[in-house]
Amino acid sequence: MSRSRPNILITGTPGTGKTTTSELVAQALGFRHINVGEWVRDKGLHSGWNEEFECFDLDEDKVCDAMEDLMAEGGNVVDHHGCDFFPERWFDLVVVLQANNTELFDRLQRRGYSEKKIRENVECEIMMVVLEEASESYRPEIVKPLTSDNTDDLERNVAIIVGWVQGMMAAGPR
């Protein structure tokens, strides 16, 4: 398969800044932003609400089917907190955003998350669950952790990611 433009995945624990970063990167590159969580909710790509984890039980097959044609085209910034169920071939770059515990705690509290859900997500961040998942699912050369603690980080990360993608496009089709 060859696509004219790369696909990037921006992953990380909820609250690390995936959506904010993805929007800016997509805007700068003229790429499509796919917020997987919104697709799951709005297109019904799930098997119901999970009371325990306070989220929809995402249907991996439905999500991948819904994304397949656009991913084959290329030019996508995919924004999701998980990364192990997408086909490995879809992505040319996998960015794992990270944030420090207190900052993450504050962001999730502002979002109105329950104490339990905040604690689970902060633990997930401390244990680097998403980085490990990305490292097990994709070639190490394309997995890039970036810190997103403040707005300086945000600006720098957007510039770095845009630079990487422009470099890939200059190198020709993948």
Q: Which is nearer to Mn ion, 35 or 147 (CB)?
A: 35
Smallest gap from Cβ 37 to ligand ADP, in A, equals 8
Query: 19: annotated binding-site residue?
Result: yes
Q: Which is nearer to ligand ADP, 15 or 74 (CB)?
A: 15
Over the chain, what HEC string results?
CCCCCCEEEEECCCCCCHHHHHHHHHHHHCCEEEEHHHHHHHCCCEEEEECCCCEEEECHHHHHHHHHHHHHHCCEEEECCCCCCCCHHHCCEEEEEECCHHHHHHHHHHCCCCHHHHHHHHHHHHCCHHHHHHHHHCCHHHEEEEECCCHHHHHHHHHHHHHHHHHHHHCCCC
Binding mask 134-163 for ligand ADP (x = CB under 6 A): --------------x-xx-xx---------
Binders of Mn ion among residues 16 to 75 (CB under 5 A) are 18-19
The piece of 12-20, 96-104, 117-125, 142-150 that touches Mn ion (CB under 5 A) is 12-20
Binding mask 11-40 for ligand ADP (x = CB under 6 A): -x-xxxxxxx--------------------
Q: Tokens in use for 82?
A: 């998980």
Q: Tokens in use for 54?
A: 């306070």
Query: 151: annotated binding-site residue?
Result: no
Query: CA angle, 38 as apex, 11 and 56 as ends, to 5°?
Result: 90
Q: Which is nearer to Mn ion, 20 or 169 (CB)?
A: 20
Q: Which is nearer to ligand ADP, 16 or 137 (CB)?
A: 16
Q: Does the footprint of ligand ADP cover residue 107 (CB under 6 A)?
A: yes
Query: 21: annotated binding-site residue?
Result: no
User: Residue ranges for the binding site?
Assistant: 15, 17-20, 111
> Under the rule (CB under 6 A), what is the footprint of ligand ADP?
12, 14-20, 107, 148, 150-151, 153-154
